[in-house]
Amino acid sequence: MKGKQTKPEIALKGLKRVLHEAEGEIPRALVRMPDDAVKETERIEESMRRLERLSWSEKFTMAIDPKTDGYMLDALSRDEDAYVRSGVAVSENVSVEILERLSRDEDAGVRSEVARSRNVSVEILERLSRDEDAYVRSWVAMNRNISVEILERLSRDEDAGVRSEVARNRNVSVEILERLSRDEDAGVRSGVAGSRNVGVEILERLKNDSDEYVRDMAIKTLEKINRGSGIM
């Protein structure tokens, strides 16, 4: 005889489907399920019903709380308040499925939080790297999950802030840094000068840059490299 399941797969899959179809609303009728599944469903339903009585700040706190379960995050991700949806996007427990939906949110702030998520997929980053909002693209450029291919494209972005974040990304290649070291924008060049991947040859050139901040950054990075290699 098989052991009794406390969370039957049929119950969880059914709930997920109903929640998506109901756009976060509480289902009014439940199919017959084993006792433990019914209790679990009632617990989730009651928790979701609590959302109606909470302020946006309380819901935001719940969204970023690592103890908040997936079903509650799903409901919160459909909240009318963009700050609440942003909180879901940065939750350490948020699923790729929820991030996929939020990556298409009408609010650029929400999409930006998706771009910075540790759980975001390369596929979502690929799409957001083409977002109309430069702030969203900047967060994509900062994400550690980003591929070299996406970094290559963003390194040619029309927005200097995006190119600057590409230079600062830990995955950036020497080839990209070489090109960005000659960028017309001093902020981009300073990003190159401070990169952990930049080569000495590039730094030697940047320490004579026309911009004082770029020169200072290049000199400081060279000093760090020299100390690490034992060169005085």
Rounded Cα distance between 212 and 214, Å, is: 5
Predicted local distance difference test score (pLDDT) of residue 40:
65
Within the chain, which residues score under 70 in pLDDT? 1-37, 40-41, 43-44, 46-48, 229-232
Rounded Cα gap, residues 211 and 138, in angstroms: 23
The whole-number pLDDT of residue 2 equals 45
Q: What angle (nearest 5°) sits at the alpha carbon of residue 193, between those of residues 209 and 138?
A: 115
Q: Can you give the pLDDT at residue 1? A: 42
Here the tokens at position 59 are: 């819901």
What is the predicted pLDDT for the residue at 34?
54
Pick the CATH number of 147-232 from 1.25.10, 3.40.50, 1.10.3470, 3.30.420: 1.25.10
Terminal C-alpha separation, the chain: 74
pLDDT of the residue at 163: 98
pLDDT of residue 49: 79
Where do the CATH 1.25.10 domains begin and end in the chain?
147-232
pLDDT in the model for residue 26: 47
Whole-number pLDDT of residue 229: 63
pTM of the model: 0.76
